[in-house]
Chains A and B, each alone.
Chain A
Amino acid sequence: MSTWFTKKTFSKTSLAALAGASVLALAACGGSPAPAGSSAAGSEQGITVYNAQHESLTQAWVDEFTKETGIKVTLRQGSDLELSNQIIAEGDKSPADVFLTENSPAMTQVENAGLFADTSKKIQEQVPAEYRPSTNKWTGIAARSTVFAYDKTKLKEDQLPKSLMDLQNPDWKGRWAASPSGADFQAIVSAMLELEGEDATSAWLKGMKENSKAYEGNSTAMKAVNAGEVEGAVIYHYYWFGDQAKTGENSKNVALHYFKNQDPGAFVSISGGGVLASSKHQDNAQKFLEFVTGKAGQTVLQTGGSFEYPVGSDVAANDQLVPLKDLDAPKVDPATLNSAKVTDLMTQAGLL
């Protein structure tokens, strides 16, 4: 009798627990403090930003912007090409109002699909022509430089590669790293494709497959250099500065080598921002990009912890950085960078 009783009680409590669980769950999904459940309806003037930039940087922009204008911003986090392709799949039904990337190839892809509205006059005035496409379908919002981050305890300056192209040579076998699955690295390859042509790029990628070690993310690749797993890594400059500003734990043995000389390895990649033509909040979306490219937004880049280069409103870079003008970057029109071709070539080389 007693066991029957416990079983009965048990089944009742477990059923009650399940029922309670569902109610609680729905409450948590639907009614949490953030505008989580409100994707379709949305608040009247709030905007949704598909964000491939580092979350911490965009969050800093959003906080300032909302404080200044009262406009709420909901972020959807993803990587450059994941989000660009998602926007293309969503087409004119996309819930996105604004799209921010780390690099420009994903912007070009959305532009080519005809999904961007023109940027406002104010944005065009704030950003110099070299940091935005001539079509004005999107704008540069920040920039980042390619570097070779190397282990300064192992490599002397005269042992460094003169050009990014050198890294395909057999004497670099097993000595360098990159994060081939990331949009950052794929943007560098797209610049190489534009500058050196398909055959040279394809050959370089095959050399890379032979020589390099793949890591998940630029930070991890730099950490591997610091830990002595490889002698150098092809990454962007600001990962090093960011780590130095925190504990320096992952970069204390690492120094940066800038290729300069308009080498493919001196490529400066433009982060982009654009307003979707399908956005029902055009004004607020444009306002957000105006803020990001304006004085206040660009100052976040100068003073914040991102260490990316400002590109608009005459805001200077953080004074710890090598000035943008001194990088001697190759001239590449961001509108010509082709991500689909790069992915194909990398797949063929066995990197993806």
Chain B
Amino acid sequence: MSPQQDLSSRTGTTAVGPPGARPLKHRAKGRGRRPGLWPVVLICCLIAAFSLVPLVYVVAATVNAGWDTIVELVFRPRVGELLLNTLALVLITVPLCVVIGIGGAWLVERTRLAGHKAWSVLLAAPLAIPAFVNSYAWVSAIPSLGGIFGGVLISVLSYFPLVYIPVAAVLSRLDPALEQSAASLGLGPWRVFFRVVLPQLRLSAAGGALLVSLHLLAEYGAFAMITFDTFTTAIYDQFRSTFNGAAANMLASVLVLFCLLLLLAESRTRGSARYARVGAGVQSSPQRLRLGSWQLPAQLGLAAVTALALGVPFWHVGRWLIAGGAAVWERADLLQALLQTLGYGLAGAAVTTVLAFPLAYLVIRHPGPVSKVLEAVNYISSSMPGIVVALALVTITVHNLPAIYQTSIVLVAAYALLFMPRALVNLRAGLAQVPPTLDEAAQALGKPPLVAFLKVTLRLSAPAAAGGAALVFLGIVNELTATLLLAPNGTRTLATQFWSMSSEIDYMGAAPYALLMIVLSAPMTYLLFVQSKKAAGQ
């Protein structure tokens, strides 16, 4: 065993070595294949097959359209415009989210920042504000907001917590022994950060960045409100004009290609290092760096970010609420929308988390081409905008499963398709922190594999599951287009009602729905924030 591996396994931190240095417990092939594995693989295949439904629908529509139609509809200037917009959006927004997310997390967790506890919550809080509520607030503030600048502004302010939260969680639990060793070998604080700390954040930052990118590809409401055209807004426009037009499906195919590229990029970043903490070594709490003269700029920077991400939406929602007075609260459908949103959020979160578990387990415990493909399949579905997934489900249920057409079953299924990666990313990180040795030890002590799994692995990954479920809930509260198409007749969610009012520029009438969406999202965001730290500490 090399010294480096020894150090990392003792301290429970990441082995940042060459890929060949994968150590320890990887069983020799052929010997002792786990008896419980095949059912898991089978379940994962079924889930993957289910999540392939929208993709197959889009591909089938593309093939049916024929080559001439494809050429005519894909190779035209409009698609070039959309490509440029979407590409620029991803290339500018994701790095900004990563910089703000990691920078904020580092300041809050590893420096003597005044009020770091308050800041640590404030930086997670923007996740409770739906992107299209953010858009609504910013359009109220600057009516002419739009274009790539507007798109990037709204996206960064809405989505940077997706990077911040997991990175902060890892940073708060990172054992400083490795950094101390590096410092003792003569590295300055900056070099320690870039050479020791940053590589250990790779998994969480890449996962967060992937979520941000997928959001950017699928977001509709926020960009429609500020008139910034992406593939998703264009697909929605096409669907609104022709419901399932060839052009919309062609645009969706291009979007799917986009997603494949992103997944490839992310899996490259993730690498193959191990992240499990092995051994019971006592971890000292991280040392906080003195900020000195950097204290003021740091405070100002964080104040600016929170003022833009939280201050602007709260100010404008408050302004419209005051302007609307008591009258805006008298709408009969407010309570109905609140209850239905809550119901769908909870049901969707529960179903999605349960479905994601076998996949996460397979990916972490049995990494290989099969698990990679099964995992990627789920990301592809979620990268497609809600409207595409919804349309596939409408078409299939109306023709083949009329009994469940326009029932809540289909809508919950759509939520599971759309938000599976949120649960998956969290569960994956959580499971990666549960050392398989514990499970194996339980089995060695005579527990059957299933019991050992339930008693050890499932229990230890519960916080991660709760975090994933919270993220799914947040997604459902904000979901718009799939809900519009699939919901049972008469359904009104906060998101659909907010959208209906705000698109008639009835900003006062929309404000109570905006506030309720934030109120509903806030505890979930907090849960997510707390659980992600717990998960990182396992």
User: A residues near B, CB below 8 A?
Assistant: 7-8, 10-11, 14-15, 17-18, 21-22, 24-30, 32-40, 48, 54-56, 74-79, 81-82, 84-86, 89-91, 93, 95, 180-183, 186, 213-217, 219-220, 223-224, 227-229, 243, 246-247, 250, 339-340, 343, 346-347, 350-352
Taking a contact as CB atoms under 8 Å apart, the answer to whether B406 and A95 are in contact is yes
Taking a contact as CB atoms under 8 Å apart, the answer to whether A76 and B490 are in contact is yes
Q: Specify the chain A residue showing the minimal Cβ separation from B336.
A: A34
**Which residues in A have their C-beta under 8 angstroms from that of B506?**
246
Taking a contact as CB atoms under 8 Å apart, the answer to whether B347 and A14 are in contact is no
**Which residues in A have their C-beta under 8 angstroms from that of B460?**
7
Judged by a CB distance under 8 angstroms, whether B127 is at the interface is: no
**Which residues in B have their C-beta under 8 angstroms from that of A36?**
336, 340, 488-491
CA distance A173 to B408 in the complex (A): 48
Q: Specify the chain B residue showing the minimal Cβ separation from A228.
A: B144
**Which residues in B have their C-beta under 8 angstroms from that of A86?**
243, 394, 485
Q: Specify the chain A residue showing the minimal Cβ separation from B241.
A: A343
**Which residues in A have their C-beta under 8 angstroms from that of B345?**
25
Beyond A26-B343, A81-B242, is A350–B78 a contact (Cβ under 8 Å)?
A: yes
Judged by a CB distance under 8 angstroms, whether B484 is at the interface is: yes
Beyond A7-B459, A76-B489, A216-B224, is A81–B241 a contact (Cβ under 8 Å)?
A: yes
Beyond A10-B462, A55-B500, A352-B247, is A27–B336 a contact (Cβ under 8 Å)?
A: no
Taking a contact as CB atoms under 8 Å apart, the answer to whether A217 and B504 are in contact is yes
Q: Please tell me which one of the listed residues A186, A229, A243, A250 contacts residue B241 in the complex, with CB atoms under 8 A apart.
A: A186
Q: Specify the chain A residue showing the minimal Cβ separation from B462.
A: A11
Taking a contact as CB atoms under 8 Å apart, the answer to whether B343 and A40 are in contact is no
CA distance A60 to B407 in the complex (A): 26
User: B residues near A, CB below 8 A?
Assistant: 73, 76-78, 81, 143-144, 224-225, 227, 229, 233-234, 236-245, 247, 323, 333, 335-336, 339-340, 342-351, 353, 394-395, 398-399, 402-403, 405-408, 458-460, 462-463, 465-466, 469, 484-485, 488-492, 496, 500, 503-506
Beyond A22-B347, A28-B342, A85-B243, is A37–B225 a contact (Cβ under 8 Å)?
A: no
Q: Please tell me which one of the listed residues B247, B344, B395, B398 contacts residue A93 in the complex, with CB atoms under 8 A apart.
A: B398
Q: Please tell me which one of the listed residues A34, A93, A340 contacts residue B242 in the complex, with CB atoms under 8 A apart.
A: A340
Taking a contact as CB atoms under 8 Å apart, the answer to whether A89 and B395 are in contact is yes
Beyond A39-B489, A220-B227, is A350–B77 a contact (Cβ under 8 Å)?
A: yes
Taking a contact as CB atoms under 8 Å apart, the answer to whether B503 and A181 are in contact is no
6 pairs from A and B in contact (CB 8 Å cutoff): A10-B463, A25-B345, A27-B343, A36-B490, A93-B405, A352-B78
Taking a contact as CB atoms under 8 Å apart, the answer to whether B144 and A227 are in contact is yes
**Which residues in B have their C-beta under 8 angstroms from that of A84?**
243
**Which residues in B have their C-beta under 8 angstroms from that of A77?**
484, 496, 500
Taking a contact as CB atoms under 8 Å apart, the answer to whether A33 and B505 are in contact is no
Q: Please tell me which one of the listed residues B241, B340, B505 contacts residue A28 in the complex, with CB atoms under 8 A apart.
A: B340
Beyond A85-B243, A86-B394, A89-B395, is A223–B466 a contact (Cβ under 8 Å)?
A: no
Q: How far is the CB of A229 from chain B (nearest CB, A)?
A: 5
**Which residues in B have their C-beta under 8 angstroms from that of A10?**
462-463
Taking a contact as CB atoms under 8 Å apart, the answer to whether B489 and A48 are in contact is yes
CA distance A224 to B463 in the complex (A): 47
Taking a contact as CB atoms under 8 Å apart, the answer to whether B394 and A82 are in contact is no
Taking a contact as CB atoms under 8 Å apart, the answer to whether B234 and A85 are in contact is no
Q: How far is the CB of A76 from chain B (nearest CB, A)?
A: 5
Beyond A21-B347, A32-B340, A214-B227, is A37–B408 a contact (Cβ under 8 Å)?
A: yes
